[in-house]
A and B are shown apart, each in its own frame.
Chain A
Amino acid sequence: MDAKASSAEDDALRAEIAEKLAGGLETEVWPRAETSEMVNDIVGRLKTEAGDDLTTKLVVAGVTDHVIEADDLEQPCETCMYFLVHRRFCELPELMLPVEPDWSCRLWRI
């Protein structure tokens, strides 16, 4: 069985996201999704507002190209349950985006 690694398509999209974030795209970093109700609200917005629009996805999820610390916890993609380590990919069904381990978003969960 071949494990899935990051593809050329993933790499290109990851680079595009990195460029948007480095270029100053302001995303909704705060408030973090502190409670399950807040998680449900944000996921609901991803479904209704973002759909397949990349920029809106990044904004609503509060994606950053650096690690955010909240409640004394660092929240890197690297430790998030939705992160596929080998593919460097966020598998949250409403995001499904190639990311970097040292990025972060407010839907982080461990």
Chain B
Amino acid sequence: MANLLWLQGGACSGNTMSFLNAEEPSACDLVTDFGINVLWQPSLGLELGDNVKAILEKCISGEIQLDIFVFEGSVVNAPDGTGNWNRFCGRPMKEWVRELSDAAQFVVGIGDCATYGGIPATAPNPSESQGLQFLKREHGGFLGADFTSKAGLPVINIPGCPAHPDWVTQILVAVATGRAGDLTLDEFQRPKTFFSSFTQTGCTRNMHFAYKVSTTAFGQRKGCLFYDLGCRGPMTHSPCNRILWNRVSSKTRAGMPCLGCTEPEFPFFDLAPGTVFKTQTMMGVPKDLPEGVDKKGYIKLTAAAKGAAPAWAEEDIFVV
């Protein structure tokens, strides 16, 4: 039996909604098959008010062993560092986060906001939001760069806007069943099992990427979304095209450019006008190139591939 507590800070509840849609394993499987005892969760908990507060206090005192503390949303510090813009059970949420993180065996940050600060931390960041151990790319965040939970691990981050439900439940199962030691984390403390490959890995538009044929408008089934519509699939670490959404699709398969929501800079370019759904260029060359590719190599590759493109690559091959 592993006790799990889930709280929300500066959050939209999107990761909770995602979690509740998990299939392999499902949220119910966590309880029935993997011995997770959900002490409280904002959308599942039966307790209200003082009864919730009592659970939190018992976790902090050790009366209830807190095995997994899950946090969704940013840590809100406004105004002026007090955290009073996000109060919960009679005190700033950030105070609960600090004490519960210190009490927990494992701390898991779910979603972009808990990981990096996310959309609430977009400049000028009026809510003074932080992620648990990062603020965007900067290591530290609310808990500090040196924080480790009682089990000796830093915060395990599962970013995404939202995180895929099965990323969440699979990591929770790994932790709850004593296999946290098998997890290897990358520089942003993301489990490598999910965040080493790219969103582009497995994308059905890869043949169009290879032959440098662009999608030029929404609704086209042909073409790659990277060249013109701002897709960040080649630069974003996620398994969105390996572990499909609802088991059937992904953004790029449905014609929606990847927004790079598992990376610290999301939302990119601070959502400045003209930057969303539009590949940013400098003298005709994309500012952000596929990871590991330099400008000179990109230009050579693109010119050669374009010249070799077969006729079918320029057509819609998905005949209904």
**Interface set of A (CB-CB < 8 Å, partner B):** 1, 3-5, 32-37, 39-40, 70-71, 73, 75, 78-87, 91-93, 108-110
Number of B residues near A (Cβ < 8 Å) is: 33
CB within 8 A of A81: which of B212, B217, B317?
A: B212
- Which of B's residues lie within 8 Å of A, judged by CB? 212-214, 216-217, 227-228, 274-275, 278-287, 298-299, 302-303, 306-307, 309-312, 314-315, 317, 319
Pair A73/B314 contact, Cβ less than 8 Å: no
Contact A109 B281 (CB under 8 A): yes
Complex Cα distance, B225 from A81, in Å, reads 11
A108 touches B280 (CB 8 A): no
- Give chain A residues whose Cβ lies under 8 Å from the Cβ of B306: 78-79, 83, 85
A-B contact pairs, 9 of them (CB 8 A): A4-B311, A5-B311, A32-B284, A33-B284, A40-B274, A40-B278, A81-B212, A81-B227, A110-B302
**Structural contact, A82 and B214, CB atoms closer than 8 A:** yes
CB atoms of B302 and A79 under 8 A apart? yes
**In the complex, how many angstroms separate the beta carbon of B164 from the nearest chain A beta carbon?**
30
Enumerate chain B residues within 8 angstroms of A5, measured Cβ to Cβ. 311
A110/B216 contact (C-beta < 8 A), A1-B312, A36-B278 known: no
A83 to B227: give the CA distance in the assembly, Å: 12
Chain A residue at smallest Cβ distance from B287: A36
Interfacial chain B residues near A33, Cβ < 8 Å: 281, 284
Partner of B285, one of A1, A4, A109: A109
Contacts A33-B284, A75-B284, A81-B227; is A93 near B217 (CB within 8 Å)?
A: yes
Inter-chain contact A36/B216, CB cutoff 8 Å: no
The residues of A that contact B312 with a CB separation of less than 8 Å are 1, 3
CA distance A45 to B137 in the complex (A): 38
Q: Which residue of B lies closest to A33 (CB)?
A: B284
User: CA separation between A31 and B213, bound complex, in Å?
Assistant: 26
A36:B283 contact, CB within 8 angstroms: no
**Residue from A71, A79, A93 in contact with B283 in the complex, judged by beta carbons closer than 8 Å:** A71
Q: Which residues of B contact A1 (CB under 8 A)?
A: 312, 315, 317, 319
Question: How close is A46's CB to chain B, nearest CB, in angstroms?
Answer: 14
Q: Tell me if B319 and A35 are in contact (CB < 8 A).
A: no
| A33-B284, A110-B284 as given contacts; A81 in contact with B228, CB under 8 Å | yes
